[in-house]
Structure 1
Amino acid sequence: MLRTRLCEILGIDVPIILAAMGTATSAEFAASASNEGALGSIGSLLRPFTAVQRDIDAVRELTNRNFAINHTPPTLDADAFRHTLAARPPIISFALGDPGELVRKAHDVGSKVMIQVTTVAQAIEAAERGADVIIAQGGEAGGYAGFVSTMALIPQVVDAVSPIPVVAAGGIFDGRGIAAAFMLGAVGVNMGTRFLASKEAPIGDAWKAAIVEAHSEDAVKIELLNDIQPLPGTAGYGTVSRSIRTPFIDQWATRREAARQEREHLLRNIQEKSQAGRRHEVFVTSGQTCGGIKEILSVAEIIRKLTAEAEIALTSAAKMMSG
């Protein structure tokens, strides 16, 4: 069994976290990961309070294992956070901005706290806030991320915040990536794109198909989105989202000033297409790992495959070093 210190801290069986991914989230999705011994996460970013409330209330009916509820300080929904505190989840996570006093409030209800960062300076700040676990996210990641690569970021963060455990995120899609994260000093991984290409992921089939069919170079940073919807990208940690290229992105990426002038119209267009199940026509959130993902599997199959591959990779590395 693939176990690290993270398993003891978070009360899980395998050191794998299903990332909280904005609107690509649900209680059912989180529970499918938690029930396999990983840590499922429920996201709140840009979601209505009623949807977040429903997931928080439903998840304990779907799993008796630990899970996390994620909040983003730059876009914090006060009602959703109050409901989270009332639910006293095992873990509360934060991303995209300094949570400040929110960490103390989470600890006061007995929750462990994870904070996702994109730079060493942010990691040090997270440690000072009292984070129990720090997720260091490299720029290869999908969704809102920074610019420093995972390979460069993880060991620097590990050195800066020791002995606080560090989880690696960005650029990991198989067991070899998990083994590599361990070699960099991480005690676990936080994965998004690999799980988006799963049967349980609450996104459209066209989005899943786009991930499987894409090459890594198709997943590009879209400054355009910060022009149209400045929060959370331009606030907090100053992140930029990554998406597989679409005709919408190609049309507007080089016309950013025009996009800023048409902000309300374009944002309404994005929202309407998302609500109609056609989000893949505008943004297809994905990390650069899309190039290595070739099939849509169940969450259980993904977790079992990841752990088996990681164990093989670690054993092979040990044999290689022993000659």
Structure 2
Amino acid sequence: MVHSRMPGCVRFSIQWSDIHKPYGLSYPHVTNGGSKFINGHVLFRMGKLSESVCYSSTEASNRSNDTSAETCHHKGVRYYRIVLPVLFVDKTFTTTITIWPDADDDGNLAAAVRIAYYMIWWVLVSRSTNAYILAIATTICLSHQFQNLQSYFYSLERIFEDNELNQLEKEVKYEKSLKVGIKMHSDTLWCTRQCQIVYGIVYSGQIVISVTGLAVLMFQMLNSERTIPNTLAIFATAFTILITNGINMWSAGDVTVEATSLATAMYSSGWQNCEGAASVRIRQLLLVAMTQAQKPVVIRGCGITEMSYGSYLSIVKSSYSIFSVIY
């Protein structure tokens, strides 16, 4: 039934009686000399998926008498061999294609090995996913902690608005509250340093994956066939990499932004309402705290790259630079 076969092309001449249509499928065809030609479709024969058919669009009426193979490409055959049986032949949808067993192997040993593969796969995926979730959640908590500190220092000025206390009691209460805020700031900085130690490898891995992944996708787009499925797959992968990297940069960059605003909140805490010796003590204490708060709080990946909004664009540019240098 197969007229000819060449690399990259399979040509069929199939009688209509060979095609079974139990699934209500519609096959565009051309009739000539009792033969039916299925153009650009995956064929179902005897209830199983056969191979795709490729023909040129010219001289369709003479195809049944032409025994020469025509050059064509059907890279989507493997995709249809997996997806279409799920829709029409009651097959399973296999997302992870292993070297062995094959997707069509329904044996007991194959099923047991496939279960083991999936268990190992889930362990690896869950570990990496949980690492990202913990890193993002921790940096979000840190950024909100710096926001809480800002609100706390801004609220200290209300102490001097309490008419039930005299000036001395107000100064004592303000100084005590100021020391509490400075202690909380010190604890938050310690948590930030611990976050850098614990999640530094996560951020470093994310940067390396983003740069290399985008560069590889550029090479793939340059060397692959210009088809809509290939383009959509490349853009979907690139979009996923950019979104994942952006979420990490966003949450870690918020820590830097909120920590930068803390010195202004300390300055606006109401120290100018103090008088005499209390004013000198509080100004000296506040000067040390503001000096510490003005130091940039930065979470880094790979030891050098700041996890910030500006670094997000730098990573994208680095991927294109690698692509330009190699190509």
For this structure pair, what is the TM-score category when the shorter chain's length is used for normalisation? under 0.3
Alignment TM-score, normalising by the size of structure 2: 0.19
TM-score by length of 1: 0.19
- Looking at secondary structure, tell me which structure has more strand per residue: 1
Which has more helix, going by share of residues?
2
